Every structure is written in structure tokens, then in C-alpha cells.
Amino acid sequence: MKKIKTQLSDDDIKYLAILSRLSLKTDEIGNLKSKLSETIEYINNLQKLNTENILPTASVVNMKNVVFQDGVPNKRRLKSSEALKNAKNKTEKFFVIKKRVI
Amino acid sequence: MNLIGKSVTELRNLIKSKKVSKGEVWDFFVKRVEKYNKKLNAFLTIGEIKNLDNDGELAGVPVAIKDNFCTKGLRTTASSKVLDNFIPPYSATVVKKLEGAGSVILGKTNMDAWAHGSSTETSAYGSSKNPWDLSRTPGGSSGGSAVAVSAYLSPYAIGSETAGSIKQPAAWSGVIGLKPTYGRVSRYGLISMASSTDCPGPLTVSVEDAALILKVLAGKDEFDATTSQVEVKDYPKLMKEKRKFTIGISDEFLAGVDEDIKKAFFKVKSDLEKMGHRFKKVSLLSPEYSISVYTILQRAEVASNLSRFDGVRYGNTREFFGEEAKRRVMLGNYVLSYGYYDAYYKKAQKVRTLIVDDFKRAFKDVDLILTPTTPMTALKLGEWEKYPFFGEKMDVLNEPIAIAGLPAIDFPVGLDRKGLPIGLQLTGNYFKEDEVLNAAYQLEKETEFYQVIKKGFKKWR
């Protein structure tokens, strides 16, 4: 059995925060580090089970290729006025976001 | 008219025969909410009386909806400050179906933020209180829904379950909770937690009500590709057929369970035997592994599902996430990231296969499986901090069932030495909600669930 690292470092936490688009305060890091390490330690019990030749399950419902039919009107579509209603920052017909590319 | 404790079926019949008007029913429940909600914190938002000219199966019956179901025009927060001011532009399919059948939304109920938890204590709006003991949690994440039914602030409620979030609060609050087969009820408009196990279901005061509500909710939904084509059954009718079942019991699901709960379990077993049902031992994989499978898959799906909350189209920015949500998103991204994907995410998916096969094997021998719903009864508020991994541990007996996507019903079977409700659950094979309901209904007729639900109402006259 391959030994997997279970203790996270401060840098691991900071990196995960970036991947998760979360901004952390410095005093949050210690707590997150100990709690996440504790969880990772526990979930490693799965390594005890032999899963050779076992296929992964992504969904328990046996369905294949459920697709939306072309030409059928999409009843879910919202009017732009409805879709924009909850946005804080908008122009007439668009959501406004911060500039991403310089 | 004093309506306390009336089931949905009774209320509906009173309304249909004009013994009571829809307006009177509405006023009765709104007054109860006004009187008791400060103490219980079950509701976050109160609805408006409408839908009065509808003559459907649930005409005029109020319903409490968990606050992670979108309700058009009515604030929906998922108990997080990220959605503090979110007014959905559309309703969830579940909500549409209930309104289509004539129900009126009484209000939106408190929950763990994003359904992350088993006590409502991660709610940004404060914990709900257990109607049996205000110093205790009602369980969660559908805690507000369980409280609303337990204290009869609403005749029924809708919850959602990812792993235990309907049945665990139902058990701790002493009411009935039904989690259908995954894909039986549409998730469209339900704010996603873990999409591969999320499942809406009712919390009720009678098994008949659970059957009735399921019949309204179940079915293929063109807006949710994971809903099943399997035909919807006439649950209220099938529930009443005289049937004898072979019921499985598993030692693995009794390990670490509180003595009072075990005692109640064997009492119910002997009652069911007297009623003519047979018992048989089944061997299942230890739920300890399900904790890990569930934790990995759920965190991964949470990381993906919560990525849409960017504050651009609706809601506040990601700064508003609470601690629990942050932790889950980060662990999700960890198990999905390069170098760990195979060791965690893929491994968990493979063990999920083992768990599914395990149940399939068991259901070749038995029709139903009887287990406790929780390893202990309701904990004190704040006590969760003592338990690392609190939610997962409290839902240890629900996780295997949820991972496999099976239907199960929780019902109360007595009180422990502290006077708190004990819940057991019957799990059935895929799409065998009719059998699960049938057996629960037989037990209800025979024992009235040991008077637990009625005793609960007495505290909130």
C-alpha cells in the first residue's frame, strides 16, 4: 500500500484556497489545517479495501445519454429582466464583472 | 376548530367537505408560527396565502419548504449569507408540483448552511431548537422542516437528503421522514449539495401523508435528466395491501449504537415478528467505509456546485461563505486535484460500487432492512464541537443507504431515558417505496408509533 501524506502544510492550505477562489484570513489557516488533516487521516481507511478490477460508480441510476431534443422550446429560459433581477452590478442587458484581462 | 395534530389527509378532507375553510386553516398555522417561531427558529421566511381557487389533492393544505428549494418571488437563502437577499425567478419542480396539487407555502425553513451539517448549527441565521428539549438540536440539515412538523407549526414539510438530512432530523425530532430512491423526485430548483445523492422528500405526521406527498412529487421531470422513467406507483393504495415481508437486520448497523436505541430496535423487531414478518441476518460492509466514501464524493461535488456562487448573477461574493462551506470546498478540491484524484476520488467511486453491490446482494435475500436511523438521540446545542467529523458520525447509518441511492423511511419508536425520541428506518430496494411505506404503515396501525408523535404535539398546545 502506498503511503499517502495526510498532514497538510500552511502552503497546502493557501494553495487549496486559491484553487477554491476563497480568500482566507491568516488566523483561519491553523484551524483549517488541523481539521482538514484530521479528515484526510480518517478517509484513508479506504486504502484498506481491495478495489482491483472494480469499476467506479458515478451514478446509481442506470441511464444513458439523456439529451434535450432539438427544436423543443426551452421552457426554463428566463427573460433577461428576470435573470438580471438579483444582480448587484448590471447595465441594461448585461451582468457587469471586474476586468479580467489587462 | 382545534386542528392540532391533524394529518394532511384529515385536513384535506375537512377542507373538501367545507367543515373548515382554507383561510381558517391558513390562519391557524400562521398564528402558531407567530406564537412559537421565536423559541424554535424553524422558519426563516413566511409565505403568503394564495393558490385558493385550486381544487387539487392537497387543496388548502399549508406546507413548510426547506430553504434550499427555489420559490419564485419568495426569498431563498439555503441558510447562507451568500444568498441573504436572493429572490428566485423560478420555482423548483417540487414546489411547482405541490402548488399544482393545491398546497400553499407557509414558509421557508431553517437548515444547515448549504445543507452542510446535521444539526442546523451551521445556519447563518442561528440554530433551530428541538421541540422536545430547547437546549438540544433538532438534527439536520432539514432541521427547520422537522421542527415545523414536530411542533405542528406545519402539517407537513419538505426536506432534502444527501445522506441523512431528512431521516436524521425526523428521528431526533420524533416525526416521519421519507427519502425516496435517488432519481424518483426531481432536483430541479433544489440548490445542489452533492448532485449524485441529493434527494427531496417529505416529513410528515403519518405514513399515509408520506405516501400521498410522494405520489404528488414523484416522476420524470424534463428539467432533471437524472429523474427516472420508472412508473410512479399509487403509494397510498399499495400501502394498505396486506403483505408479509422478510426483513434483514445487520450487526454492522448496530455496532456503536446507544443501548436505549438498541432496546427499542429489538422491541420493534419482536412487534413486527408478532405481526407475521420474518427476520433474517444480512451481512453488510461496515458503515465506517461509507463515511469515507461519502465524505470524499460529497466534498468533491460540493466544491464543484459551490463554484457557481460568484456574486455576479445573484447573491453576495465568496467572502460570505461560512467556515464549514470553506472547509468542504477546499477538501473537495484536494481530493480532485492532480496526484490525489486516484487515491481519493476514484477510490471512493470504486468503493461506492462495492457498497451498491453489497445492498444488491442483501436484497436478493430480504425485502427490507431494519436499522436504527442514528447512533444516538438528539445532542445538546454546541456539543458537535466535541465530535470530530460530527455530521458524518451522526449520519453513519444513513450514508451507506444514500450512497447506494436506496429509498428509506424513518419513524419514531419510543423515547430514551432522557425523554428524547428514538427513530428507526426501513430501507427498501430501488423504487420499492411502496414496500417501505407498506411495512411502516402496518407498524403505525399496530402501535401508533408508540404515541411519540402525539406526545410531541402536547408540548406545543
Instruction: State whether B352 and A28 contact (CB < 8 Å).
Output: no
Backbone dihedral angles phi then psi of residue B305, each to the nearest 5 degrees: -65, -35
B309/A contact by beta carbon, under 8 A: no
DSSP state of B373: S
Residue in A7, A11, A36, A39 to test binding to B, most B beta-carbons within 10 Å? A39
Nearest residue on chain B to A19, alpha-carbon basis: B333
Instruction: State whether B292 and A23 contact (CB < 8 Å).
Output: no
Determine the distance in angstroms separating the CA of A101 from the nearest CA of chain B, rounded to an integer: 17
Reported ipTM: the value is 0.93
Work out whether the CA dihedral B164, B170, B174, B176 comes out positive or negative: negative
Q: What is the CA radius of gyration of chain B?
A: 20
Q: Which residues pair with B410 in a beta bridge?
A: B177, B425
Structure confidence by residue, pLDDT tens digits, B374-405:
999 999 999 987 776 777 778 899 999 999 99
Closest CA to B301 of B339, B354, B345, B343: B345
Q: Which residue has the cell 402496518?
A: B442
Considering CB atoms only, which of A22, A51, A57 is closest to B326? A22
CATH architecture of B8-458: Alpha-Beta Complex (3.90)
Q: Where are the domains of chain A?
A: 1-50
The confidence score (pLDDT) of residue B272 equals: 98
Distance CA B424, CA B214 (A): 20
Considering CB atoms only, which of A23, A51, A78 is closest to B347? A51
Instruction: State whether A2 and B323 contact (CB < 8 Å).
Output: no
Q: Name the amino acid, one letter, at A100.
A: R
Residue in B292, B294, B356, B357 to test binding to A, most A beta-carbons within 10 Å? B292
All residues of chain B having their beta carbon less than 8 Å from the beta carbon of residue A87 are 312-314
Strands B368-372 and B408-415: unpaired
Given the residues B6, B7, B22, B66, the one annotated as active site: B66
Backbone dihedral angles phi then psi of residue B161, each to the nearest 5 degrees: -125, 130
C-alpha cell, B271: 412487534
The confidence score (pLDDT) of residue B303 equals: 97
Nearest 5 degrees, angle CA B327-CA B295-CA B369? 145
pTM score of the predicted model: 0.96
C-alpha cell, B92: 423548483
Residue in B301, B350, B358 to test binding to A, most A beta-carbons within 10 Å? B350
Q: Does B66 qualify as catalytic in the annotation?
A: yes
Q: Which residue has the cell 408478532?
A: B274
Q: Name the amino acid, one letter, at B381.
A: L
Instruction: State whether B87 and A61 contact (CB < 8 Å).
Output: no
Per-residue pLDDT for A1 more than 50? no
CATH tag, A1-50: 1.10.20
Considering CB atoms only, which of B86, B327, B356 is closest to A57? B356
Tens-digit pLDDT string for chain B (461 aa) = 889 999 999 999 999 999 999 999 999 999 999 999 999 999 999 999 998 899 999 999 999 999 999 999 999 999 999 999 999 999 999 999 999 999 999 999 999 999 999 999 999 999 999 999 999 999 999 999 999 999 999 999 999 999 999 999 999 999 999 999 999 999 999 999 999 999 999 999 999 999 999 999 999 999 999 999 999 999 999 999 999 999 999 999 999 999 999 999 999 999 999 999 999 999 999 999 999 999 999 999 999 999 999 999 999 999 999 999 999 999 999 999 988 999 999 999 999 999 999 999 999 999 999 999 999 999 999 998 777 677 777 889 999 999 999 999 999 999 999 999 999 999 999 999 999 999 999 999 999 999 999 999 998 98
Query: Which long-range contacts does B241-245 make (Cβ < 8 Å, 24+ apart)?
Result: B241/B438, B243/B435, B243/B438, B243/B439, B243/B442, B244/B276, B244/B277, B244/B278, B245/B277, B245/B278, B245/B366, B245/B367, B245/B368, B245/B435, B245/B438, B245/B439
pLDDT confidence of A3, banded at 50, 70, 90? low
All residues of chain A having their beta carbon less than 8 Å from the beta carbon of residue B96 are none
Distance CA B306, CA B315 (A): 12
Given the residues B80, B154, B165, B228, the one annotated as active site: B165
Helix (H, G, I), strand (E, B) or coil at B271: helix
Instruction: Provide the chain B residues 323-362 that lie in CB contact (below 8 A) with chain A.
Output: 323, 326-327, 329-334, 337, 340, 343-344, 346-354, 356
Backbone dihedral angles phi then psi of residue B41, each to the nearest 5 degrees: 50, 50
